[in-house]
Amino acid sequence: MRRLLFAANWKMQIGPGEARRYAAEFRQRFTPASDRDTWFFPPAVSLEAASAAFQGLENTQIGAQSIYWEVKGAFTGAVSAGLAKAAGARVVLIGHSERRHVFGETEADTARTLRAALHEELVPVLCVGEKLDQREAGETALVVKRQLLAAIAGLSANQLASLVVAYEPVWAIGTGRNATPTDAAAVHTGLRTLLADAGVQGTRILYGGSVNQGNVASLLAEPEIDGVLVGGASLDPVGWATICAGGK
């Protein structure tokens, strides 16, 4: 059985000092469970502080929100996979919708970034999802298929053994709207079929998009949904501890 995964994306929020306070509060409120993992994605400036503050918490990893695919060089403002790993990251978000649609990262960029993560043995969380106009045009399955296959093209099943996928409909992120559990599960089923066709089995597929304490249980009741990638609702350590304790 695939383990549950609760992933907190702090985005451009929570500095080093606040990360330490957050971790202390979360650790008081949350009891690790053997059937689930909790991952935190702080901003780059808080990676090292978060890594130290969560150290020793069972089934917990710290991740980078983004990396650049080059190993080193004159790339002002960029963070390589190796630098993120040195700061404590063990996992990394790849192709988050905000990287695609705010910062203009292309599918080719996402593919290069995924390979850089694998080269440094960071666990990649590949994000895919459609915009509202694509959903209304009935193109959801086509969009997520294109994004997934573009990212993993040429990689072997062995290389992709650690891959995690997150379905995050762009129209649901931070809007208060979310896909119904049935709709999300249907997309997850399609993604799992594509991965199976590529020889990849057992991949955890998360749902992200306005997840909160009120809807997390219904989402996780769907067998195809293996966890959640959460933004706004993860910024409060008390509320996030409650979300992480819920589910199947």
Per-residue pLDDT at 247: 63
Predicted structure pTM score? 0.96
Per-residue pLDDT at 178: 73
pLDDT values of the chain reduced to their tens digit, one per residue, 248 residues? 799 999 999 999 999 999 999 999 999 999 999 999 999 999 999 999 999 999 999 999 999 999 999 999 999 999 999 999 999 999 999 999 999 999 999 999 999 999 999 999 999 999 999 999 999 999 999 999 999 999 999 999 999 999 999 999 998 877 777 789 999 999 999 999 999 999 999 999 999 988 999 999 999 999 999 999 999 999 999 999 999 998 65
Per-residue pLDDT at 173: 77
Q: 181-197 vs 140-152: helix axis angle to the nearest 10? A: 40
Q: What does the alpha-carbon distance between residue 244 and residue 32 come to, in Å, rounded to a whole number?
A: 9
Residue 17 CB coordination number (10 Å): 10
Instruction: Please say whether the beta carbons of 25 and 237 come within 8 A.
Output: yes
Domains located in the chain, CATH noted: 4-245 (3.20.20.70)
Per-residue pLDDT at 187: 97
- Taking only the tens place, the pLDDT of each residue in 208-233 is 988 999 999 999 999 999 999 999 99
SS (HEC) of the chain: CCCEEEEEECCCCCCHHHHHHHHHHHHHHCCCCCCEEEEEECCHHHHHHHHHHCCCCCCEEEEECCCECCCCCCCCCCCEHHHHHHCCCCEEEECCHHHHHCCCCCHHHHHHHHHHHHHCCCEEEEEECCCHHHHHCCCHHHHHHHHHHHHHCCCCCCCCCCCEEEECCHHHCCCCCCCCHHHHHHHHHHHHHHHHHCCCCCCEEEECCCCCCCCHHHHHCCCCCCEEEECHHHCCHHHHHHHHHCCC
Residue 71 CB coordination number (10 Å): 12
Q: What does the alpha-carbon distance between residue 1 and residue 248 come to, in Å, rounded to a whole number?
A: 12
Which residues are catalytically annotated?
96, 168
Residue tagged 């330490």 (tokens):
20
